[in-house]
């Protein structure tokens, strides 16, 4: 599920990069035609990039909150909880193995 979100975000970021490149081309054309000054063009591109970066941060924050809320609602275990449970299972497997070994030794003595 998280992969789908990642792909969506990366696709969005790719579109922003393409859009920024297209904007820069259009601005350069406007500068060449004398419709705007070079300084105005640079300002437009910088403003677009700044807004895009701000929106990227907002989208990342929204995405993290959405995933966190979804995980909490579904009561899914986090990475740390899973690692703790894996350690407990491993420990219990070791104990069961040791007890089975003791049982087999006791049965041989009988």
Tens digits of residue pLDDT in 55-106: 878 888 888 899 889 888 888 888 899 999 999 999 999 999 999 999 999 8
Sequence-separated (6 or more) residues with CB below 8 Å from residue 60: 9
What are the tokens at 9? 């975000």
For the chain, the structural domain boundaries read 1-76, 77-110
Query: 33 or 91: whose pLDDT is higher?
Result: 91
Give the dihedral sign, CA 55/58/64/69.
Answer: negative
Answer whether 22's CB lies under 8 Å from 45's CB. Answer: no
Does the structure show a pLDDT above 70 at 1?
Answer: no
Does the structure show a pLDDT above 70 at 45?
Answer: yes
State the DSSP H helix or E strand holding residue 74, giving kind and residue range, or none if neither: helix 38-74
Answer whether 85's CB lies under 8 Å from 34's CB. Answer: no
């Amino acid at each position: 599920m998280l992969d789908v979100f990642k792909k969506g975000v990366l696709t969005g970021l790719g579109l922003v990069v393409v859009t920024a490149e297209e904007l820069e081309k259009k601005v350069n054309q406007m500068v060449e035609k004398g419709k705007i000054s070079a300084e105005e063009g640079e300002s437009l591109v910088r403003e677009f990039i700044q807004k895009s970066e701000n929106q990227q941060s907002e989208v990342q924050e929204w995405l993290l909150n959405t995933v966190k809320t979804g995980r909490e609602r579904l009561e899914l275990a986090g990475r740390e909880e899973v690692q703790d449970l894996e350690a407990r299972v491993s420990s219990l497997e070791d104990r069961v193995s040791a007890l089975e070994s003791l049982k087999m030794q006791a049965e041989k003595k009988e």
